[in-house]
């Protein structure tokens, strides 16, 4: 019985550690770990670029570090929700129906200049 309890608490420990490390990843690294590869850039060019290169309807412009910094200050969860659901003139999914959340992370990091690559 003792061994059983010990292994049960070990499982609990391990699983709580997994969830703690993933939340650290999401809040601290802030898009820095998202990979911007050719596929992501292709999707970006076909959707986000329409508005985020020239600033259509006051869209925050690629590389406008100050503007992006203040938006990133809202926290990743809110920003991702705004991309998925849309906000004001920002359309839901940014017109990218095939984009995954990780694609959005990479694109946002690219626009905000916070990607490591
Ligand atoms: C039709 C134009 C348009 C397209 C296409 C578009 N956006 Fe936007 N986006 C906007 C506008 C306008 C805003 C500013 C909305 C506001 O804050 O009022 C915005 C804001 C954002 C924000 C900031 C949200 C926040 O919480 O401050 C992010 C992130 C973003 N867009 C990502 C994307 C991504 C990623 C794509 C491509 C998949 C994309 N957008 C495509 C117009 C667009």
pLDDT, mean of residues 7-33: 47
pLDDT tens column, 59-87: 999 999 999 999 999 999 999 999 999 99
Domain residue ranges of the chain, discontinuous segments joined by +:
1-30, 32-112
Band of pLDDT at residue 15, cut at 50, 70 and 90: very low
Mean pLDDT, the chain, whole residue set: 81
pLDDT of 54 > 70? The answer is yes
- Best CA proximity match to 103, nearest among 50, 49, 42: 42
Domain 32-112 grouped into CATH 2.60.40.420: no
At residue 66, the pLDDT reads 94
Q: How far is the centre of ligand 1, averaged over its atoms, from the C-alpha of 78 (Å)?
A: 13
Beta bridge pairs of residue 90: 87
This prediction's pTM: 0.80
Please answer whether residues 94 and 47 qualify as being in contact, where contact means their C-beta atoms are separated by less than 8 angstroms: yes
Residue 18 has pLDDT above 80, yes or no: no
Whether the CB of 33 sits within 6 Å of ligand 1: no
pLDDT of the residue at 116? 61
The confidence score (pLDDT) of residue 114 equals: 84
The response to whether residue 82 sits with its C-beta less than 6 Å from ligand 1 reads yes
């Amino acid at each position: 019985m003792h061994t059983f309890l010990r292994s049960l608490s070990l499982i609990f420990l391990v699983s709580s550690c997994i969830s703690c490390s993933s939340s650290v990843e999401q809040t601290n690294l802030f898009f820095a770990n998202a990979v911007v590869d050719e596929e992501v850039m292709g999707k970006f060019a076909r959707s986000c670029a329409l508005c985020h290169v020239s600033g259509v309807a006051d869209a925050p412009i690629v590389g406008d570090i100050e503007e992006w910094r203040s938006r990133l200050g809202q926290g990743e969860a809110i920003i991702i929700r705004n991309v998925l659901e849309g906000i004001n003139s920002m359309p839901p999914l940014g017109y990218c129906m095939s984009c995954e959340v990780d694609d959005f992370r990479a694109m946002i990091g690219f626009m905000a200049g916070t990607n490591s690559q």
